Structures are given as structure tokens and as C-alpha cells.
Amino acid sequence: MEIAQRIVDEAIRRGFDEAVAVVTASRRVMVKIANSEPTVLQQWTPIIVELYLTKDKRMFVGSYEPKSVEELLNGMDRISTMTLKVAESQLYAPLPEPTPIRYIGGLADNRILKAMDEVEKISEHIIEVAHRERIDSVAGMLQLSYMRIALVSSKGVQLSEDKTALQGYIRAFAEPDGSGQWCFTSTKYDIDGLEEMASIAARYAVDSRKREDIEPGTYDIVFSPMVFGNLLDYIIDMASAFSVIMGLSIFMKNRIGDRVASEKLTVYDEPRNRELPNASSFDYESLETFDKPIIEDGILRTILHNTKTAKIMNTKSTANAGWIRPSPWNIVVRSGDAKLDEIVSDVKRGLLITNNWYTRLQSYVEGLFSTIARDAVFYIENGRIVKPVNKIRVADSFPNILNNIEHVGRDAYNVQWWEISTPSKIPYVLVRNVKVSKHVI
């Protein structure tokens, strides 16, 4: 807090109109797994300073990992020489006045701090759980984190919060061609969640051996939480007002209250969900966060705002700042009432896709995208999983995916890895009539 306050004081002394400093001191421990062994152990203790400065409606934003406060102040001096060379920002809005903050509490788990000293032992246990299935090897990663975040602004705001996070993924391999992957994330030390991650990955690896080709066409697809989480990462990012303003959103032509999805789908932004690692009591403009529906029963309910986008669109901030871009905190899909086997039983001709990568957009406004299914993919016929199949490419549009949702699963899973940047809680989802093509390596 002292560092952040000094930075803000020095910024105002140098003639800036407004200043916000967010200082994050963290400790992270990561173990990488290869060939069913922990191979690399890495530790970091960075101090990251994020800085927001304004002068005559000109905005300056930066992120630093300085060796000293003096080094940062020297950088601030260089910024001050550029103020007259920068145009006024069309996004500029004054910082909001301070308001009381109700802290969430319980976001730091001492068990994660203790587990940091035992991360190799924990990884060995995860490997052992995966090998309870008849697999050949596993690879993956386990990371434990502790963060202390301090926010100070020239409006007199002083806020701080401690958090912990656990994140991991396991990819299992079973000869000759089987593979499966699963991930897990939490603010708590949850060994059950890690064991389930290993078990699901291994089971999918075993079940996906001896794959066959299928014909391109239109299929009903059961998307796993990993896959639907990846697609929602893109879709909910389009619910950011910044995306709408910049012409990078399928919601550009929509108004609040429009139907944009199947009535089966409800998606929340939940910054106050203690279970998911992006939980936060306040945003970067020091506003108190709150949970909110983005899509509710298929209806668009919220576009995510900071004070800048809210000013442009004549509304109020949703406490999702980002000084430039408002973003979701944690994405949560409301569970349905169907088990996975019940969802599968309602598919006459379709696929179960458990993992994906290389999601690419051909048109942001129309939501045209493609993504490559990886690891375990299964062909479903007359309500039964018949066989594993080779890699395929899904090539469709986000509006079609949203509107063709038929079932939302009962059981939701905490997911986050490099293809799902926002921590999410997602069930299995059945989408009708999805276009599929062959993936050519």
C-alpha cells in the first residue's frame, strides 16, 4: 500500500490530473509434468505495478516490473514529457468518486500457501491417480499462486485484497492413438478437484483409442466444459462494451432485452464467486463489483462497462474495469437438470467433443469461427457413444451455437487453461446442427 500511495503522490506532484496505481505482489510456484514425471519446478515472486495517468483528458496506461520505485518514477518523468504530444482520448471519463466497498472475504486459502512447499509431491499424486487407468503417460502443469493487490488513487481511495489460486491441467496418452485432457481451477486447495481432473483425462485417453474417420457434415454436438468454456471466452468478451464500440462483437446490432440465445442458456459474470480465481471486491476504477447476468434465459441482459464506455453509451459502469477495456471476472453458466448420459441419449447422430484449440474468427460481427477438436472425440448414434473418431474442425457461427442449445448439463466444472483465459464454471452442453469439416494436418 505504501508503494502504491507514493507512486500516486509523485504522479500528482509531477502535474498529472489523475493517477491510479495497482501494485500486485505475488508468489507463484509451477511444476511441469512430462512422461509421467515432474520435470521442471519454477518459482516467481514478482511485484507488478500497473499505472493509470491522465492530463487534460489524455490517458496513459502502463504495466511495469521495476527494480525500484525510483526506476518507475523515471519512467513517469518520460511520460510527462509526452503529454502535449498525445491527443485527447475519446474514451476519457473522470475517475468515479469513492464509494464504500463490501469485501468478499475468504479469497486466500492458507492451505495453498502450505502446498507451495509440497507441489512436487502433489504432482506425483496426480500422476498416480491418472495411472489408475491403463494409460501410458501423462503431461501437464500445476500452478499455485498467492497475490496481495493494493489499489490507490488520487481520489483518496486505498483498497487491498489477498487471494490464492490453484490451476492445473493433465493430458493423458494411451497407445496407439488415445489421448484425453482436462483442467481444473479454484481459489482453494482442492485435492478432489485435482484427482477428478486426472481421472477424466485418463478415462478419455483410454476410451479414445483406435479412432476412425467420419464424413464432414452437420452434427448435433455435445461440447464438454473445456470446449464450451473456450467458445464462451470469445462470446462473453464480445459482451464488453469496448468490443461493441470497436466493431468486434456479435452484439453490435442488439439491444438489452433482445433474444440472442436459446432459452436454455443463462450466463453470469460473477466477480463475487469465492470459488473462482478472478474473484475481486473492486475493479480498477475502485468500484464495488457485483454478480450479474449477461445472458439470462437466452435474453441479453448486460453489456459490460467501465466508466469510460458507460459515458459513451450513456449508461452506468458495471464495475468491470479495465482502465481501457471492461472484461468479465468469472464466467458461470447456470446448470440444467440433465446428466451427461441423458444428454447423449438425446442425440441420434452427433459427436462428443472433449477438447479444442486454435479457435479463430473469420468475422467478429457475424461470429463466424472455426476451431479444431483435439484429443478424445466420439461419434454418437441413436443415443449411444459408438466409437472414437479422428480430429475434426468445427466451422460455424457463434449465433448458431447460442441459438441451437438444446440441453445444459447438471454438473458444472471449474475450468481454466491457456485456451480458457477467464476462470469459468461450465457444464456439458448439447448444440443441434453444427457444421463440421475434416481437419487436414
User: Pairing mode, if any, of strands 18-34 and 37-44?
Assistant: antiparallel
Residue 55 confidence (pLDDT): 95
CA distance 1 to 156: 13
Question: Model's pTM, two decimal places?
Answer: 0.96
Res. 441 pLDDT band, cuts 50 70 90: low
Render pLDDT for 108-160 as a digit per residue (tens, 0 to 9): 999 999 999 999 999 999 999 999 999 999 999 999 999 999 999 999 999 99
Res. 440 pLDDT band, cuts 50 70 90: low
* Burial label, 44 (beta-carbon count in 10 A; 0-12, 13-18, 19+): exposed
Please report the DSSP string for 254-292 in residue order.
--TT-B-S-TT--EEE-TT-TTSTT--SB-TTSPBP--E
Render pLDDT for 148-187 as a digit per residue (tens, 0 to 9): 999 999 999 999 999 999 999 999 999 999 999 999 999 9
Q: Please list, residue by residue across 376-396, b when 16 or more beta carbons sit within 10 angstroms of its beta carbon and e when fewer do.
A: bbbbbeeeebeebbebbbbbb
Residue 68 confidence (pLDDT): 85
CA 287 remoteness from chain centre: 21
What share of the chain has pLDDT > 90, as a percent?
A: 93
Do residues 109 and 46 lie in contact, with contact meaning Cβ atoms separated by under 8 Å?
no
Res. 15 pLDDT band, cuts 50 70 90: very high
Residue 349: pLDDT over 80: yes
Residue 298 confidence (pLDDT): 99
Q: Taking each helix axis as running N to C, give the angle between helix 191-207 and helix 119-130, from 0 to 180 degrees, rounded to the nearest 10.
A: 40
CA 394 remoteness from chain centre: 21
Top pLDDT among 3 and 84 is at 3
Residue 67 confidence (pLDDT): 85
Do residues 352 and 375 lie in contact, with contact meaning Cβ atoms separated by under 8 Å?
no
Of the listed ranges 7-11, 132-136, 427-431, the least confidently predicted one is 7-11
Render pLDDT for 219-265 as a digit per residue (tens, 0 to 9): 999 999 999 999 999 999 999 999 999 999 999 999 999 999 999 99
Cell digits of residue 180: 484425453
CA distance 53 to 432: 49
CA 371 remoteness from chain centre: 17
Please report the DSSP string for 294-335 in residue order.
EEETTEE---B--HHHHHHTTS---S---SSS---S-EEEPP
CA distance 431 to 397: 12
User: Pairing mode, if any, of strands 349-353 and 217-223?
Assistant: parallel
Render pLDDT for 315-337 as a digit per residue (tens, 0 to 9): 999 999 999 999 999 999 999 99
Res. 80 pLDDT band, cuts 50 70 90: confident
Cell digits of residue 131: 495411472
Please report the DSSP string for 352-406 in residue order.
EE--EEEEEEEETTTTEEEEEE-S-EEEEETTEEEEEB--EEEEEEHHHHHHTEE
CA distance 142 to 169: 7
Render pLDDT for 97-111 as a digit per residue (tens, 0 to 9): 999 999 999 999 999
Radius of gyration of the CA atoms of the chain, in A: 23
Do residues 266 and 145 lie in contact, with contact meaning Cβ atoms separated by under 8 Å?
no
Residue 91: pLDDT over 70: yes
Cell digits of residue 379: 461419434
Residue 371 confidence (pLDDT): 98
Domains defined along the chain, listed by start: 2-206 (3.30.2290.10), 211-441 (no CATH)
Residue 79: pLDDT over 90: no
